[in-house]
Structure 1
Amino acid sequence: MAGRTARDALEQYAPVTWSIGLLQAPAEQVAEQLCSWREEIGRAVTSAALPSGLGAAIDALAPYTAPWTREVVLGTNGQWSAIFDNSAIGGDPTSSVSYLAGRLRVPGLVVLRTPYRPDAKGARHSYQGTAFRLYSPDPVPGARDGNGLRSVDLIQDDNRWHFGAWGEQQEYEDVARYASRRVRDRFDEELLRTYCSALGADYLADDFFRGPSYLIRSHPARGLRNAGSTFAEIRQSAGLPPDWPESPSVPD
C-alpha cells in the first residue's frame, strides 16, 4: 500500500509487536542458540527458514498458546535481530533477550510500546506505556533482573502515570526530560526511538525488519494450558477495537 510505514506494519500486528526483543547478533546465530537453549531445557525443537519481512514472521506465530510454543527470529537492516513469540497474552521476549545476551555475549534490548486503547479496561496489557530495557552480556551487580544494564519506563496504570529509571545512565539519554513537571512528559516513543537509534536499532525505519527470518517451534514437556487462540482473539483480549490501528486521541 502506498505510503505504508514501519509504524503501520507494527500496529497491524499488535499486540504481538508491542514488545520487541532485540539482540546484537546475526539472525542465524540467534536462531541457532535459541534452538540449543530450548533443547537443553527439555523441549522438542524444530526450526525452519521463513520468507523475509515482518508480516511473514508474525503470520508464522499462530496459533497463540500458553505457554508459548513458537518464536521467530527476524534479521534487520543493521547488526540486530528481533525476537517475537506466540504467547497468548501477546508476547513478551524479555526472558529470551536477557538470557541470550549472556549466552551470545552481545547486548540485548527490549522495546515496549503499548498505546492508549479506550476499550482496554480489564483487558490483558490494559496499561499504556513506553519502556527501554538494555541488557548486558555480563551480570550487573545490584541489577533487579541479573544482567539488566539500564531501564527507563513510563507506565500508566489505574489512571496514574509512573516513571522510573534504573541502572547505568547511557551517554545518549536526555536526562533533562526526566525532570519534567508532568510525569507523562518524561518519556515517550519519540525519545525511545532516539535511544534505540543511538544503538543502531531504529525499529521504526521503513526497511528495518528485512530478514532473514527463522521460525523455532518448541513443545513444553507438560503440555499446553489452552488449545490456542487466533490472532483476532488475542487482539480482542488486548482491548483493540475492530478498526485498529485507527486510534483516538490520547487523553491526558
Structure 2
Amino acid sequence: MTFEKKYFPITCEVGFLEADFDSVISMFKEWQEKICKSDQITFIVEELKSQFPNSLERLLPLTSLEGRRFVFIQTNSKWVAFFENGYPYPEIDSVVGYLASKLKCRTIRAGWSENQFKKSENIGSLGATIFTLYTPEVIDVDNCKRSIQLINEGSSWRFYEYGEKLSFEKSVNYRKKKKEDRFNRQILASYLSSFGLDFFDENFYSGKLILIQKVGGELPSSKIYNLSEAQASLEFTPNWS
C-alpha cells in the first residue's frame, strides 16, 4: 500500500516551499504566534526521530475546524515539505500562499486523492487532483501564479484552471472529452518533476523532520478523529482497487 493511501487524508495535500529549512520553521512559528495571541496557547517545536512516512502518525489525532499539529520535512531537494492534521482535509493553501510572500520564495500546493466514488450508489470518497503555484509577487489580486484543479463534486467532475500556462504543461489534455482524464496523478507527478519534486516517492522525504504542536486554546466545537475514523467518515478505503 502506498503511503498516500495509508495515511489519507493527511497525505491528500502537501505543501512545498523552496526555502531554507530553518527559515521556514522560524517564519511559520512566528506567524502562528502572532495569530494566536493568548497566554493559554503555546507552540512546541520538536525534532522527530522517526522516519517518513511513520512520522506522519505524530499528526494524529486529526482535528476539525483547525490544524493543531504541523510537520515540516527537508526533502532530498531544495524544497521543504509541509503536512498538517486538519479534518476533513488539511489546510495547505493558506499556509503556502502566505509563506511565499513572507519568505520571498516559490511555494506549491499539490494534492491527489484517489477517486472511489460510485455515482450509481452515491458512496465512496471523492477524487481530486490539484496543483497551485505561488510566488512572492502579487499577480492580479494575490500571489497565485498558476492553478489547475480537477475535483469530483459528486454530481459531476469540475475542471478549473487559472493563470498563465507554464512551459512544461501538456495543455492538450485539458481538452479531453472526459473531464476526469484532463488532470490526473501521472500528469501531476510530471508537472511536479519540473520543479525537482517527487510527491509520490516516500524516499523523497528523507531529511530532517520537525513537528510544531499548538497547545491550549482548543475550539469548543472541534472534534478529533483517529485515522480509521477519518477514513471511514470520508468513505475512503486504503486498499481499494
Tell me what 1:193 maps to: 189
- Residues 1:229 and 2:225 are matched in the alignment: yes
Alignment partner of 1:22: what SS?
strand
1:23-67 alpha-carbon deviations (Å, 9 max, x no partner)? 112332211111111111125211010125322431111121132
- Residues 1:205 and 2:201 are matched in the alignment: yes
Q: Which amino acid aligns with 2:178?
A: R
Displacement, 1:222?
Answer: 6.0
1:1-252 equivalence runs, <5 A: 8-41=2-35, 42=37, 43-51=41-49, 53-66=51-64, 67-118=66-117, 121=122, 126-142=125-141, 146-219=142-215, 221=217, 223-226=219-222, 228-241=224-237, 244=238, 246-248=239-241
Displacement, 1:203?
Answer: 1.2
The CA distance in 2 between the partners of 1:225 and 1:92, in whole Å, is 18
Identity between Structure 1 and Structure 2 (%): 26
Higher strand share: 2
C-alpha contact 1:64 1:86 (8 A) present in aligned 2 = yes
Alignment partner of 1:223: what SS?
coil
Alignment partner of 1:215: what SS?
strand
Displacement, 1:205?
Answer: 3.1
Displacement, 1:182?
Answer: 2.3
Structure 2 alignment gaps of length 5 or more: none
Displacement, 1:118?
Answer: 4.4
Alignment partner of 1:137: what SS?
strand
1:107-129 alpha-carbon deviations (Å, 9 max, x no partner)? 01011111112489578xx4311
1:109-166 alpha-carbon deviations (Å, 9 max, x no partner)? 011111112489578xx43111111111121114xxx211101111121231221211
The CA distance in 1 between the partners of 2:219 and 2:42, in whole Å, is 12
Structure 1 alignment gaps of length 5 or more: none
Displacement, 1:227?
Answer: 5.1
The CA distance in 2 between the partners of 1:158 and 1:119, in whole Å, is 9
| Runs of 4+ residues over 3 Å off in structure 1 | 118-123, 219-224
RMSD across aligned positions (CA): 2.1
The CA distance in 2 between the partners of 1:118 and 1:165, in whole Å, is 23
Displacement, 1:247?
Answer: 1.9
The CA distance in 2 between the partners of 1:229 and 1:162, in whole Å, is 29
TM score, norm. by length of structure 1: 0.85
C-alpha contact 1:52 1:210 (8 A) present in aligned 2 = no
Equivalent pairs counted in the alignment come to 234
More deviation in 79-88 or 191-200? 79-88
TM score, norm. by length of structure 2: 0.89
